[in-house]
Structure 1
Amino acid sequence: MTQAPTPTADTVRRLVRSLLKNGVDDSAGPEVRPAAPGAEPATWLVGTRHVLRLAPDRGAAVRQRRELRLRDLVRPHVPVTVPTSVAHGEWAPGLSYTLDTKVPGGAGGEHDVSALGEADLAGLLTGLREVPARQAETLGVPRTAPRSLEALRRAAERPAARLAEADEFDAARLRQLTQPGAGQLAAQPGTAVLVHHALTGDHLVVSADGRVRGVLGWADTVLGDPAEDIAGLALAVGSPAAVRAATLAGYGARPCLRGLWLARCDALVRLADRLDGKGETPLPLLRVQLRHAWEAILLERVTEFREDDDGADEL
């Protein structure tokens, strides 16, 4: 099997010059630089107005081509900006690229999300729910089964103890989620929607006034459990803001609390793994995510579930 080439700054400059020669973004010039530390070799800023993303392997190329079509499907349904491709093709045999318009604003970690920003997130969650599932499947968007919260709860027990030993976490807090509680928060049948599945701080574009102006990173979108996006928001912007946005979007107590606990268990596992030398996510970011996920919310203290109720009337 032929090994895929590694894109370099020279590779990017040559590609950009060919695009400029064809009249794409004549004002951007040939200046290129990695979009962020660690983003090289896949993501590059081109001038001040565009971002070039290079698929590093054939699997990523398949996802990128699907993403281009998916963004067109999603765009009419959501109130935030979804990037637009002004040029796309192959930078190497079988490996795709897209030159996207840069969405103005900073990464989610740079600015706090305001009340209006929470309304933007609510509009995003509402819009994702409204995207026709059949059309998304036609584009190749996969369906994924909901994760078992009970299995995740058990998997988080040892990391919680590990973090307690490192003075990073009070392991007793995980006991708030009992086995019966995890069962009550199981995903309900027939609730699958379009799920962005990567609502990280890097993929939320937030302006200085706290508004959410755009959402990036649509390559891993699936049809599945909407609580996964609530969990992503809890890690990115904090549990209270995530739950308020989900509630504004019409989600009841069950999916909100399910998303909260998905985020909490994930944060424990990821930080413990990183302390043990696994993964590359910076420790400061993982600690912020742990703090965000474990922020207290009123909903979990006042909600009681009944078997025939999704908890919506308890909000």
Structure 2
Amino acid sequence: MDNAAKVPDASALQLLESLPQVLKPVRLQRSSEGGEHIVWIVNDSLVLRLPVEQTDTSTLLREKQLLDLIRKDGGIARLIPWCVGIGSWPSCRNWQYALYHKVEGISVEHAPEAVTNMTEDDLVAFMTSLKKAPVEEARKMGVPTGETVNDDQLIVAALGALRRLEANDQLQASALRKVKLVVPMNRHDLDTSTSTEQVLTHADLKGEHIFVGRDGRVTGIIDWSDAQIGCPSFDISGLAISVGARMAARVARRVGYSAGIVSRGLLMARSNSLVYLDEVMNAGSDYPEWLIRRQLERACEDVEAS
């Protein structure tokens, strides 16, 4: 067995039937989402997650401890998934797994029309809580420090990708015009001056990870395996590809982030989306093309100056 993706549903069922937390009979459905994890929905009430890479099995425990820390902020506790248990799978090479309560609602990727002003309010509360989270406690848990954002590298990568996409006629004219309006030609065209503030970040926010109810209220933020301590622009970027650059900028400003941090977050979203699309179209990447194009469109929304 080289990786978790080769774990058959029958084996997962065998594990779940041995767990006292799981009601019997067990109903199991493999999820199409997961990325770095293979995921099963269990009885429509639980989620079984198995990391594809098992090189560092401490990550699941660290994630649980981090979620417990964030949940201490009662204002957003309902948005943080509950981990039912973490364990080792003896019949599957002792692979580590985590069992979570399933978040209610639907992801904003599947239902972008469900996003409302209440979504924005909840995202403000969420980002504010992360900004106030005790960084040193998270660091002691082993939460890593993220890489420093290099504006020049982002712009160079974005422009290179844009040139290839344009030369190969891989962007519609309307999309091309929009991209050219918002992607800077050099760092001097963009104010990303900012403090060295470091906060706790989710660091993998995207539409598949933000869940909302019918009224637009956020019901949960899932998959914290990439959480890190770093520049808040990482999460602003994630919001931009999830709910659009306009709402992402409004959320960040309401939280109290500077114009420079907001600009850097939008630059990251736009640059990364262009690079990912270029990789799909010209380098054989298996990213879903439709998803990357949708994220690029959201990230390239025009934003009112603060």
* Farther-moved stretch of structure 1 (226-235 vs 165-174): 165-174
Query: Does 275-284 or 101-110 show the bigger shift?
Result: 275-284
Give 1:84 shift.
0.9
What secondary structure is seen at the aligned counterpart in 2 of 1:145? coil
TM-score, normalization by structure 2: 0.89
- Corresponding residue to 2:22 among 21, 25, 40: 25
Q: Which residue of 2 aligns with 1:108?
A: 108
- Code of the residue aligned with 1:96 in structure 2: it is Q
Offset at residue 174 of structure 1 (A): 5.5
Structure 1, unmatched stretches of 5+, are 300-314
* Cα deviations by residue, 1:29-79 (Å, 9 ceiling, x for unpaired): 311111226779710000110110112332363322211111111112362
Percentage of pairs with the same residue = 29
Matched, 1:287 2:265: no
Query: Could you tell me which residue of structure 1 aligns to residue 134 of structure 2?
Result: 132
Structure 1-normalised TM-score? Answer: 0.86
> Across the two proteins, how many residue pairs are aligned to each other?
293
Please give the residue correspondences for 1:1-315 in structure 2 after superposition, counting only pairs within 5 Å.
3=2, 6-19=6-19, 22=20, 24-26=21-23, 29-36=25-32, 42-59=38-55, 61-77=57-73, 79=76, 80-91=78-89, 92-109=92-109, 110-112=111-113, 113-165=115-167, 166-168=169-171, 169-170=176-177, 172-173=180-181, 176-182=184-190, 184-189=191-196, 191-299=197-305, 315=306
Asked if the contact 1:146–1:187 (Cα under 8 Å) also holds between the matched residues in 2, the reply is no
Cα deviation digits, residues 176-230 of structure 1 (max 9, x gap): 4533134x414422x0100100111111011122221110010000000101100
Whether contact under 8 Å (2:240, 2:247) holds in the other structure is yes
SS at match of 1:76: coil
Aligned equivalents of 1:13, 1:60: Cα separation in 2 = 24
Mean CA deviation greater in 4-13 or 219-228: 4-13
Give the drift of 1:111: 3.2
Deviation digits for residues 277-298 of structure 1 (CA, Å, limit 9, x no counterpart) = 4322211100101100110011
- Contact 1:156/1:269, CA 8 A, preserved across alignment: yes
C-alpha distance 25-278 of structure 1, shift in aligned 2 (>3 A)? same
**Matched-pair contact (CA < 8 Å) for 1:192–1:225:** yes
CA shift digits 1:238-294 (9 cap, x unpaired): 001111111121112111111111111111111111101432221110010110011
Does structure 1 retain, via aligned residues, the 8 Å contact 2:36–2:52? no
Q: Mean Cα displacement is larger for which, 171-180 or 240-249?
A: 171-180
Structural RMSD (CA): 2.1
1:269–1:14 Cα change, 3 Å: same
Pair 1:40–1:31, CA change in 2 (3 A): farther
Match of 1:306 in 2: none
Aligned partner of 1:14: which letter?
Q
- Partner Cα distance (1:66, 1:187) in 2: 30
Contact 1:111 1:207 in 2 (8 A): no
Q: Secondary structure at the match of 1:54?
A: strand
- Matches of 2:280 and 2:225, distance apart in 1: 25
Aligned mates of 1:259, 1:39 — CA distance in 2: 22
CA contact (8 A) 2:65 2:141 kept: yes
Please, which moves more after superposition, 135-144 or 5-14?
5-14
**Preserved contact between residue 111 and residue 210 of structure 1 (Cα < 8 Å):** no
Contact 1:56-1:95 within 8 A present in 2 as well: no
* Whole-angstrom CA distance in 1 between matches of 2:53 and 2:302: 41
CA 1:261–1:195: 2 relative to 1, 3 Å:
same
Q: CA–CA distance in 1 between the matches of 2:239 and 2:288?
A: 19
